[in-house]
Structure 1
Amino acid sequence: MSTISTHVLDAVQGKPASGIEVRLEKQTETGWLVLSESATDSDGRCPDLCQDGSDGVYRLTFAVDDYFASHSRISIYPEISITLIVEGGHYHIPLLLSDNSYTTYRGS
């Protein structure tokens, strides 16, 4: 079984991005199945999106539009989706966010 977690860091402000809605989906034969929905906490984290996932293709979607609007900022990204292959183990997927770019990687 696999676990999936994430956190979002606002690279412009140099601090965690709280209040961003995050959706986790798994690809099935008939399309995407929503597994969980959450929002980043005061430390920018969603630690328990998935505690017992099976192998497969997953997608994290971050609804960043409201976050930018709440900080009087404009971005070209209303949402950011990250698709990943899960094959056992822990998957921590950070998102480093700025108004017009983002970076992600597999963390620990």
Structure 2
Amino acid sequence: MSVSPITCHILDTTTGRPAANVTCELTYLSDSKSSSKPIALATTNNDGRVKNWNLSNENESWILNELRSGIYKVRFNTLDYFTKMNRETFFPYVDIVFQLPESPDNHYHIPLLLSNYGYSTYRGS
């Protein structure tokens, strides 16, 4: 299977290790029909990465083939991750909202540097 045009990666900065088994939701916010529902779901692998998404329904198959311009959100459900590690967190989830231009590139990578009391992100490559 080829890699999705939108990928993400979580590093736990308190352990210096990838954050595995974190549930992630991808939402396309520019479409009023799907603005409140995720279009795809995934779980980070042992390397803390999401390379491919599971589509919420077949109507969203465009995300696998061609990106649309507009506003997207990736929600990282961090509470379960920290609970499994027997650690408290101030952030039960992290939402990263980003905008793709009229002629999007072929690939966008969303890294998340995470601790239980803070996080940081940037546009990856």
TM-score normalised by the chain length of structure 1:
0.92
Report the alpha carbon displacement of residue 86 of structure 1 after superposing the two structures with TM.
Answer: 1.2
Report the alpha carbon displacement of residue 67 of structure 1 after superposing the two structures with TM.
Answer: 0.3
More strand by share: 1
Match of 1:98 in 2: 115
The count of residues paired between Structure 1 and Structure 2 equals 107
Match of 1:3 in 2: 5
Specify which of 78, 82, 86 is matched with residue 68 of structure 1. Answer: 82
Q: Identity over aligned residues, as a percent?
A: 35
Report the alpha carbon displacement of residue 34 of structure 1 after superposing the two structures with TM.
Answer: 1.8
Unaligned runs of 5+ in 1: none
- Which secondary structure does the structure 1 equivalent of 2:38 belong to? strand
Report the alpha carbon displacement of residue 11 of structure 1 after superposing the two structures with TM.
Answer: 0.4
Partner AA of 2:8 in structure 1: T
Report the alpha carbon displacement of residue 32 of structure 1 after superposing the two structures with TM.
Answer: 3.2
Q: Distance in 1 between matches of 2:36 and 2:91?
A: 21
**Does 1:36 pair with 2:50?**
no
Report the alpha carbon displacement of residue 24 of structure 1 after superposing the two structures with TM.
Answer: 0.1
More helix by share: 2
Which structure has the larger Rg over C-alpha atoms?
2
Report the alpha carbon displacement of residue 36 of structure 1 after superposing the two structures with TM.
Answer: 0.6
Extract structure 1 runs of 4+ deviating beyond 4 A. none
Partner AA of 2:39 in structure 1: L
Report the alpha carbon displacement of residue 48 of structure 1 after superposing the two structures with TM.
Answer: 2.1
Specify which of 56, 64, 78 is matched with residue 92 of structure 2. Answer: 78
Unaligned runs of 5+ in 2: 54-62
Q: Distance in 1 between matches of 2:100 and 2:117?
A: 28
